[in-house]
Chains A and B, each alone.
Chain A
Amino acid sequence: MPESSAGTLTAPEKPAKQKPGGTLYRGREGMWSWVLHRITGVAIFFFLLVHILDTALVRVSPEAYNAVIGTYQTPIMGLGEVALVGAIVFHALNGLRIILVDFWTWATRHQKVLFWIVIALWVVTMLAFTPRHLINVFSH
């Protein structure tokens, strides 16, 4: 890794055409893990807002709750739940990666490998989850 000792960087007024990936960060594992972490975090947040409201319907009446939770059991929502679980599993695994990178110098140096480990674990988890969930949604 090139050590830059310069205290400040100077950018030209008109930046020259840059190759994506011309830096250590842009277009690489570090950037994509950040982008995905941010997008999944926002998505889960908005889901949670709605989810607390739908759960609150148990205080209205059994009929009201069942009507809304019934929509969770339709094929389209079933696919949406695969996306939601996919988002959570990525955010959780990559969250652990962030924590390791923050506290452990080995992980800081190997953050790229760790990104691919996150992806691998994500694939394994989703392979275990998706078929069973879709069978539940599309049968009975």
Chain B
Amino acid sequence: MTTIEAPRTPVRPAPKRGVNLEKWGWIYMRVSGVVLIVLIFTHLFVNLMLGDGVKAIDFGFVGGKWADPFWQWWDVAMLWLALIHGANGMRTIVNDYTKPGTAQKLLKLALFLAAAVLIVLGTLVVFTFDPCPAGAPADLLPSFCAA
């Protein structure tokens, strides 16, 4: 006979003192999820539905959007919230399908590094973006570069 624990048997009781990181992770998934609906649905609507949709996207399109701090911050918020939400969700899945040990640690390290590197990269890209790089053919640039 194998005994299966009752569903609500606490495996490791939550720490009585200090912050309960798993609880805050759980809350984060829900709060970020609600905010991401607005951020991502708008992102998809603006980039895929308005005008000619995906056909209209090129360097000039991005230059036009990021000329406005509103869309810069929009994209940075989306970047941070989505990557942390996704990486934390992937951590849950790693916990479900691997047993504690080196492989599990390596997988979580890989998730952490991927999220950290891309958050830094994506944030830098938005704020160091130059819509009118010198020497680029004018027809590839946003129209305001000519002025």
Asked if B118 is at the interface of the complex by the 8 Å CB criterion, the answer is yes
Grouping DSSP codes into helix (H, G, I), strand (E, B) and loop, the B interface class, with mixed when no group exceeds half, is: helix
Contact between B1 and A136, CB atoms less than 8 A apart = no
Interface residues on A, range: 35 or more
Residues of A within 8 A of B60 (CB): 62
Tell me whether A55 and B122 are in contact in the complex, defined as CB-CB below 8 angstroms, given that A85-B48, A95-B33, A136-B53 are known contacts: yes
Tell me whether A63 and B6 are in contact in the complex, defined as CB-CB below 8 angstroms, given that A56-B122, A88-B40 are known contacts: no
Contact between B129 and A58, CB atoms less than 8 A apart = yes
A55 to B33, CA, bound (A): 23
Residues of A within 8 A of B52 (CB): 136, 140
Asked if A9 is at the interface of the complex by the 8 Å CB criterion, the answer is yes
Contact between A52 and B40, CB atoms less than 8 A apart = no
On chain B, the number of residues with a Cβ less than 8 Å from chain A's Cβ atoms is 48
Tell me whether A66 and B49 are in contact in the complex, defined as CB-CB below 8 angstroms, given that A44-B86, A61-B136, A95-B33 are known contacts: no
Asked if A129 is at the interface of the complex by the 8 Å CB criterion, the answer is yes
Residues of A within 8 A of B63 (CB): 58
Residues of A within 8 A of B130 (CB): 59
One of B53, B54, B58 near A65 (C-beta < 8 A) = B58
- Nearest chain B CB to A6's CB is how many angstroms away? 7
Tell me whether A8 and B3 are in contact in the complex, defined as CB-CB below 8 angstroms, given that A42-B90, A45-B87 are known contacts: yes
Asked if A29 is at the interface of the complex by the 8 Å CB criterion, the answer is no
Contact between B140 and A62, CB atoms less than 8 A apart = yes
Contact between B125 and A56, CB atoms less than 8 A apart = yes
A6 to B37, CA, bound (A): 41
Given A7-B6, A62-B60, A99-B33, 6 other A-B residues pairs in contact with their CB atoms under 8 A: A8-B3, A11-B1, A11-B4, A53-B121, A65-B62, A136-B55
8 nearest interchain CB pairs? A136-B53, A62-B59, A45-B86, A62-B140, A95-B33, A9-B4, A52-B122, A52-B118
**B residues adjacent to A (C-beta < 8 A):** 1-6, 30, 33-34, 36-37, 40-41, 44, 48-49, 52-55, 57-60, 62-63, 79, 82-83, 86-87, 89-90, 93, 114, 118, 121-122, 124-125, 128-130, 133, 136-137, 140-141
